[in-house]
Structure 1
Amino acid sequence: MKKLKSAILLALIVATTGFSSCKKDSNGNTSGKGAATVKASLYGFDGTSGTTFSSTAAGIVKVGNMLTITAIKEGSKESITIVLQNVTGTGTFGLLQDNSAGHGAILSKDYTQPADGTLNYSTSLPSPTGVKGGGEVKITTLTSTTAEGTFYIVGHNSAGKDGFVENGTFSGKVN
Protein backbone atom coordinates (compact mmCIF):
# COMPACT_ATOMS: atom_id res chain seq x y z
CA MET A 1 0.00 0.00 0.00
CA LYS A 2 2.91 2.35 0.71
CA LYS A 3 4.24 1.71 -2.82
CA LEU A 4 0.82 2.58 -4.28
CA LYS A 5 0.56 5.78 -2.21
CA SER A 6 4.04 6.83 -3.39
CA ALA A 7 3.12 6.14 -7.01
CA ILE A 8 -0.13 8.10 -6.70
CA LEU A 9 1.64 11.03 -5.02
CA LEU A 10 4.21 11.04 -7.84
CA ALA A 11 1.39 10.90 -10.38
CA LEU A 12 -0.35 13.86 -8.76
CA ILE A 13 2.87 15.87 -8.92
CA VAL A 14 3.44 14.96 -12.58
CA ALA A 15 -0.17 15.73 -13.48
CA THR A 16 -0.21 19.04 -11.60
CA THR A 17 2.97 20.04 -13.38
CA GLY A 18 1.30 19.11 -16.67
CA PHE A 19 -1.80 21.17 -15.91
CA SER A 20 0.24 24.19 -14.92
CA SER A 21 2.14 24.13 -18.21
CA CYS A 22 -0.99 24.20 -20.37
CA LYS A 23 -1.19 27.20 -22.67
CA LYS A 24 -4.20 28.82 -24.26
CA ASP A 25 -4.01 30.32 -27.69
CA SER A 26 -5.75 33.57 -28.66
CA ASN A 27 -8.98 31.63 -29.32
CA GLY A 28 -8.97 30.17 -25.79
CA ASN A 29 -8.06 26.66 -26.95
CA THR A 30 -5.81 24.60 -24.71
CA SER A 31 -2.65 23.31 -26.33
CA GLY A 32 0.12 21.08 -25.08
CA LYS A 33 -0.34 19.11 -21.89
CA GLY A 34 -3.81 18.48 -20.53
CA ALA A 35 -5.30 17.84 -23.95
CA ALA A 36 -7.60 15.05 -22.75
CA THR A 37 -11.15 14.59 -21.47
CA VAL A 38 -12.51 12.47 -18.62
CA LYS A 39 -16.23 12.01 -18.09
CA ALA A 40 -18.52 9.86 -15.95
CA SER A 41 -22.30 9.63 -15.90
CA LEU A 42 -22.43 8.61 -12.20
CA TYR A 43 -20.06 10.01 -9.60
CA GLY A 44 -20.51 10.62 -5.89
CA PHE A 45 -19.42 10.45 -2.26
CA ASP A 46 -20.75 9.33 1.11
CA GLY A 47 -23.92 7.56 -0.03
CA THR A 48 -25.22 10.46 -2.12
CA SER A 49 -26.93 9.96 -5.45
CA GLY A 50 -24.62 10.03 -8.42
CA THR A 51 -24.05 13.15 -10.45
CA THR A 52 -21.95 13.70 -13.56
CA PHE A 53 -18.21 14.32 -13.72
CA SER A 54 -16.65 16.24 -16.61
CA SER A 55 -13.12 17.47 -17.20
CA THR A 56 -11.99 18.79 -20.57
CA ALA A 57 -8.48 19.67 -19.38
CA ALA A 58 -7.45 16.29 -18.00
CA GLY A 59 -3.99 14.79 -18.24
CA ILE A 60 -2.85 11.38 -19.48
CA VAL A 61 0.82 10.87 -18.68
CA LYS A 62 2.95 7.84 -19.54
CA VAL A 63 6.39 7.56 -17.96
CA GLY A 64 8.04 4.28 -18.85
CA ASN A 65 5.33 1.67 -18.28
CA MET A 66 3.38 3.75 -15.72
CA LEU A 67 0.20 5.37 -17.06
CA THR A 68 -1.55 8.05 -15.03
CA ILE A 69 -4.93 9.57 -15.79
CA THR A 70 -5.76 12.69 -13.76
CA ALA A 71 -8.79 14.95 -14.06
CA ILE A 72 -10.17 17.86 -12.06
CA LYS A 73 -13.94 18.26 -12.26
CA GLU A 74 -14.83 21.48 -14.03
CA GLY A 75 -15.75 24.23 -11.60
CA SER A 76 -14.61 22.35 -8.49
CA LYS A 77 -11.65 20.92 -6.57
CA GLU A 78 -12.89 17.34 -6.98
CA SER A 79 -10.60 15.02 -8.89
CA ILE A 80 -10.02 11.51 -10.17
CA THR A 81 -6.53 10.01 -10.36
CA ILE A 82 -5.83 6.55 -11.76
CA VAL A 83 -2.35 4.98 -11.69
CA LEU A 84 -1.59 1.86 -13.70
CA GLN A 85 1.76 0.04 -13.53
CA ASN A 86 3.35 -2.10 -16.27
CA VAL A 87 1.17 -0.79 -19.10
CA THR A 88 2.59 -1.82 -22.46
CA GLY A 89 -0.58 -1.79 -24.57
CA THR A 90 -4.35 -2.05 -24.53
CA GLY A 91 -6.06 -4.30 -22.01
CA THR A 92 -8.08 -4.54 -18.82
CA PHE A 93 -6.49 -3.49 -15.52
CA GLY A 94 -8.07 -4.30 -12.16
CA LEU A 95 -8.06 -1.79 -9.33
CA LEU A 96 -8.96 -4.22 -6.54
CA GLN A 97 -7.43 -3.29 -3.19
CA ASP A 98 -3.93 -4.77 -2.70
CA ASN A 99 -3.69 -6.01 -6.29
CA SER A 100 -0.26 -7.45 -7.05
CA ALA A 101 0.27 -5.17 -10.08
CA GLY A 102 0.17 -1.99 -7.98
CA HIS A 103 -2.74 -0.36 -9.84
CA GLY A 104 -4.90 2.08 -7.90
CA ALA A 105 -7.12 5.14 -7.92
CA ILE A 106 -8.04 8.06 -5.70
CA LEU A 107 -11.22 10.11 -5.82
CA SER A 108 -10.81 13.44 -4.05
CA LYS A 109 -13.26 16.00 -2.78
CA ASP A 110 -10.39 18.53 -2.69
CA TYR A 111 -7.21 17.73 -4.61
CA THR A 112 -5.39 20.60 -2.83
CA GLN A 113 -5.54 18.61 0.43
CA PRO A 114 -3.95 15.23 -0.42
CA ALA A 115 -3.02 14.45 3.19
CA ASP A 116 -6.60 14.69 4.51
CA GLY A 117 -7.82 11.09 4.62
CA THR A 118 -11.45 12.14 5.00
CA LEU A 119 -11.41 14.01 1.67
CA ASN A 120 -9.64 11.32 -0.36
CA TYR A 121 -11.21 7.98 -1.30
CA SER A 122 -8.75 5.28 -2.31
CA THR A 123 -9.10 1.84 -3.84
CA SER A 124 -6.41 0.77 -1.35
CA LEU A 125 -8.63 1.30 1.71
CA PRO A 126 -11.40 -1.07 2.91
CA SER A 127 -14.80 0.02 4.21
CA PRO A 128 -15.57 -0.50 7.94
CA THR A 129 -17.40 -3.71 7.00
CA GLY A 130 -14.35 -5.03 5.16
CA VAL A 131 -15.61 -4.36 1.63
CA LYS A 132 -12.57 -3.81 -0.54
CA GLY A 133 -12.04 -0.83 -2.79
CA GLY A 134 -11.67 -1.60 -6.46
CA GLY A 135 -12.73 -1.03 -10.01
CA GLU A 136 -11.45 -1.59 -13.49
CA VAL A 137 -9.84 0.31 -16.34
CA LYS A 138 -10.17 -0.86 -19.95
CA ILE A 139 -7.70 0.76 -22.31
CA THR A 140 -9.10 0.38 -25.82
CA THR A 141 -6.56 2.58 -27.63
CA LEU A 142 -2.97 3.28 -26.62
CA THR A 143 -0.33 4.72 -28.90
CA SER A 144 2.66 6.93 -28.19
CA THR A 145 0.41 9.96 -28.69
CA THR A 146 -3.18 8.99 -27.77
CA ALA A 147 -5.14 6.89 -25.26
CA GLU A 148 -8.77 6.12 -24.65
CA GLY A 149 -10.88 3.75 -22.64
CA THR A 150 -13.44 3.23 -19.91
CA PHE A 151 -13.36 2.80 -16.12
CA TYR A 152 -15.26 2.44 -12.88
CA ILE A 153 -13.97 2.97 -9.33
CA VAL A 154 -15.08 2.27 -5.76
CA GLY A 155 -12.92 3.86 -3.05
CA HIS A 156 -13.08 4.45 0.68
CA ASN A 157 -11.80 7.29 2.84
CA SER A 158 -10.11 7.06 6.24
CA ALA A 159 -13.52 7.32 7.96
CA GLY A 160 -14.75 4.31 5.95
CA LYS A 161 -17.14 6.24 3.74
CA ASP A 162 -17.55 5.38 0.04
CA GLY A 163 -16.79 7.28 -3.15
CA PHE A 164 -17.65 5.93 -6.59
CA VAL A 165 -17.40 6.52 -10.33
CA GLU A 166 -19.46 4.59 -12.89
CA ASN A 167 -19.54 4.75 -16.68
CA GLY A 168 -16.23 6.63 -16.82
CA THR A 169 -14.48 7.41 -20.08
CA PHE A 170 -11.14 8.99 -20.95
CA SER A 171 -9.59 10.04 -24.25
CA GLY A 172 -6.90 12.35 -25.49
CA LYS A 173 -3.27 13.11 -25.95
CA VAL A 174 -0.62 11.15 -24.04
CA ASN A 175 2.18 13.23 -22.55
Structure 2
Amino acid sequence: MLDLGWTELLVIGIVALIVVGPKDLPVLFRQVGRFVGKAKGMAREFSQAMNQAADDSGMKDAAQGFRSATDGLSKMSNPLKAGKDSLSKAAKDATSGLTDVDPESETGKLAAERAEAARKIKESTAKKAQARIDAEAEAAAQATEAGETSAAPAAKTAETPTTDVGEADGKADDDKKDKA
Protein backbone atom coordinates (compact mmCIF):
# COMPACT_ATOMS: atom_id res chain seq x y z
CA MET A 1 0.00 0.00 0.00
CA LEU A 2 1.07 3.57 0.49
CA ASP A 3 4.28 3.87 2.41
CA LEU A 4 3.70 7.06 4.36
CA GLY A 5 5.74 7.92 7.43
CA TRP A 6 4.82 10.22 10.27
CA THR A 7 6.49 13.23 8.69
CA GLU A 8 4.55 12.81 5.43
CA LEU A 9 1.28 12.45 7.34
CA LEU A 10 2.11 15.58 9.34
CA VAL A 11 2.74 17.57 6.15
CA ILE A 12 -0.53 16.31 4.64
CA GLY A 13 -2.39 17.28 7.84
CA ILE A 14 -0.92 20.81 7.83
CA VAL A 15 -1.76 21.30 4.15
CA ALA A 16 -5.32 20.01 4.76
CA LEU A 17 -5.65 22.40 7.72
CA ILE A 18 -4.60 25.35 5.54
CA VAL A 19 -6.68 24.37 2.49
CA VAL A 20 -9.88 23.12 4.19
CA GLY A 21 -9.75 25.16 7.36
CA PRO A 22 -10.15 24.16 10.99
CA LYS A 23 -13.95 24.21 10.87
CA ASP A 24 -14.41 21.58 8.12
CA LEU A 25 -11.29 19.46 8.92
CA PRO A 26 -13.05 16.89 11.22
CA VAL A 27 -15.73 16.31 8.57
CA LEU A 28 -13.02 15.76 5.92
CA PHE A 29 -11.12 13.24 8.13
CA ARG A 30 -14.37 11.37 8.80
CA GLN A 31 -15.08 11.09 5.06
CA VAL A 32 -11.49 9.96 4.36
CA GLY A 33 -11.81 7.29 7.08
CA ARG A 34 -15.02 5.96 5.53
CA PHE A 35 -13.38 5.90 2.11
CA VAL A 36 -10.36 3.97 3.42
CA GLY A 37 -12.66 1.49 5.20
CA LYS A 38 -14.64 0.88 2.01
CA ALA A 39 -11.41 0.42 0.02
CA LYS A 40 -10.12 -2.16 2.53
CA GLY A 41 -13.44 -4.03 2.39
CA MET A 42 -13.34 -4.11 -1.41
CA ALA A 43 -9.74 -5.38 -1.36
CA ARG A 44 -10.70 -8.12 1.11
CA GLU A 45 -13.65 -9.20 -1.06
CA PHE A 46 -11.44 -9.24 -4.16
CA SER A 47 -8.83 -11.38 -2.38
CA GLN A 48 -11.48 -13.85 -1.19
CA ALA A 49 -12.98 -14.08 -4.69
CA MET A 50 -9.56 -14.81 -6.20
CA ASN A 51 -8.84 -17.49 -3.60
CA GLN A 52 -12.24 -19.08 -4.25
CA ALA A 53 -11.62 -19.06 -8.01
CA ALA A 54 -8.21 -20.68 -7.50
CA ASP A 55 -9.73 -23.39 -5.31
CA ASP A 56 -12.47 -24.06 -7.87
CA SER A 57 -10.01 -24.36 -10.75
CA GLY A 58 -7.87 -26.96 -8.95
CA MET A 59 -4.99 -24.61 -8.35
CA LYS A 60 -4.78 -25.76 -4.74
CA ASP A 61 -4.01 -29.33 -5.86
CA ALA A 62 -1.40 -28.03 -8.28
CA ALA A 63 0.20 -25.99 -5.49
CA GLN A 64 0.39 -29.08 -3.27
CA GLY A 65 1.98 -31.03 -6.13
CA PHE A 66 4.47 -28.23 -6.64
CA ARG A 67 5.33 -28.23 -2.93
CA SER A 68 5.89 -31.99 -2.91
CA ALA A 69 8.14 -31.66 -5.97
CA THR A 70 10.16 -28.90 -4.35
CA ASP A 71 10.56 -31.00 -1.18
CA GLY A 72 12.64 -33.42 -3.24
CA LEU A 73 14.71 -30.51 -4.52
CA SER A 74 15.28 -29.20 -1.01
CA LYS A 75 16.52 -32.65 0.02
CA MET A 76 18.88 -32.65 -2.93
CA SER A 77 20.16 -29.21 -1.98
CA ASN A 78 20.93 -30.51 1.54
CA PRO A 79 22.88 -33.74 0.94
CA LEU A 80 23.60 -34.33 4.63
CA LYS A 81 19.91 -34.44 5.50
CA ALA A 82 19.14 -36.61 2.48
CA GLY A 83 21.91 -39.04 3.44
CA LYS A 84 20.76 -39.17 7.05
CA ASP A 85 17.17 -39.82 5.99
CA SER A 86 18.18 -42.60 3.60
CA LEU A 87 20.41 -44.23 6.24
CA SER A 88 17.70 -44.15 8.88
CA LYS A 89 15.21 -45.63 6.40
CA ALA A 90 17.67 -48.38 5.43
CA ALA A 91 18.39 -49.17 9.08
CA LYS A 92 14.69 -49.36 9.84
CA ASP A 93 14.12 -51.68 6.89
CA ALA A 94 17.06 -53.88 7.90
CA THR A 95 16.01 -54.22 11.53
CA SER A 96 12.40 -54.92 10.65
CA GLY A 97 13.57 -57.76 8.40
CA LEU A 98 15.61 -59.27 11.22
CA THR A 99 12.83 -59.27 13.76
CA ASP A 100 10.27 -60.83 11.43
CA VAL A 101 11.49 -64.44 11.76
CA ASP A 102 9.37 -67.58 11.88
CA PRO A 103 10.02 -69.15 15.32
CA GLU A 104 9.63 -72.69 13.92
CA SER A 105 12.34 -72.27 11.29
CA GLU A 106 16.04 -72.95 11.82
CA THR A 107 16.73 -69.22 11.84
CA GLY A 108 14.01 -68.67 14.42
CA LYS A 109 15.50 -71.34 16.68
CA LEU A 110 18.97 -69.80 16.37
CA ALA A 111 17.54 -66.37 17.10
CA ALA A 112 15.84 -67.70 20.23
CA GLU A 113 19.08 -69.36 21.38
CA ARG A 114 21.02 -66.15 20.82
CA ALA A 115 18.42 -64.13 22.68
CA GLU A 116 18.62 -66.56 25.62
CA ALA A 117 22.44 -66.40 25.58
CA ALA A 118 22.31 -62.60 25.51
CA ARG A 119 19.91 -62.62 28.46
CA LYS A 120 22.23 -64.91 30.44
CA ILE A 121 25.22 -62.71 29.66
CA LYS A 122 23.34 -59.64 30.84
CA GLU A 123 22.34 -61.37 34.08
CA SER A 124 25.89 -62.58 34.72
CA THR A 125 27.31 -59.14 34.01
CA ALA A 126 24.78 -57.53 36.33
CA LYS A 127 25.64 -59.99 39.14
CA LYS A 128 29.38 -59.42 38.72
CA ALA A 129 28.91 -55.66 38.66
CA GLN A 130 26.83 -55.80 41.84
CA ALA A 131 29.44 -58.03 43.52
CA ARG A 132 32.18 -55.57 42.54
CA ILE A 133 30.17 -52.65 43.91
CA ASP A 134 29.56 -54.53 47.17
CA ALA A 135 33.27 -55.42 47.47
CA GLU A 136 34.27 -51.80 46.89
CA ALA A 137 31.79 -50.64 49.53
CA GLU A 138 33.11 -53.21 52.02
CA ALA A 139 36.71 -52.20 51.29
CA ALA A 140 35.81 -48.56 51.81
CA ALA A 141 34.13 -49.40 55.12
CA GLN A 142 37.19 -51.37 56.26
CA ALA A 143 39.45 -48.52 55.22
CA THR A 144 37.46 -46.06 57.29
CA GLU A 145 37.53 -48.45 60.27
CA ALA A 146 41.27 -48.96 59.86
CA GLY A 147 41.71 -45.21 59.63
CA GLU A 148 39.82 -44.77 62.90
CA THR A 149 41.83 -47.50 64.69
CA SER A 150 45.15 -46.12 63.44
CA ALA A 151 44.06 -42.66 64.51
CA ALA A 152 43.29 -43.96 68.02
CA PRO A 153 46.91 -45.07 68.79
CA ALA A 154 48.11 -41.75 67.45
CA ALA A 155 45.77 -40.02 69.87
CA LYS A 156 47.05 -42.18 72.73
CA THR A 157 50.64 -41.32 71.95
CA ALA A 158 49.72 -37.68 71.94
CA GLU A 159 48.21 -38.07 75.41
CA THR A 160 51.31 -39.70 77.00
CA PRO A 161 53.26 -37.21 79.09
CA THR A 162 56.56 -36.08 77.74
CA THR A 163 59.29 -34.47 79.70
CA ASP A 164 60.62 -31.12 78.78
CA VAL A 165 64.20 -30.83 77.73
CA GLY A 166 64.94 -28.76 80.80
CA GLU A 167 63.46 -31.41 83.08
CA ALA A 168 65.49 -34.12 81.44
CA ASP A 169 68.64 -32.06 81.92
CA GLY A 170 67.73 -31.47 85.55
CA LYS A 171 67.29 -35.22 86.14
CA ALA A 172 70.58 -35.91 84.51
CA ASP A 173 72.23 -33.38 86.83
CA ASP A 174 70.55 -35.03 89.82
CA ASP A 175 71.88 -38.41 88.70
CA LYS A 176 75.41 -37.00 88.49
CA LYS A 177 75.13 -35.55 91.98
CA ASP A 178 73.92 -38.88 93.37
CA LYS A 179 76.91 -40.68 91.89
CA ALA A 180 79.37 -38.24 93.27
| Greater C-alpha radius of gyration | 2
Shorter-chain TM band: under 0.3
Normalised by the length of structure 1, the TM-score is 0.15
Name the one with the larger helix percent: 2
Normalised by the length of structure 2, the TM-score is 0.15
Q: Give the number of the structure with larger relative contact order, counting CA–CA contacts within 8 Å between residues 6 or more apart.
A: 1
Name the one with the larger strand percent: 1
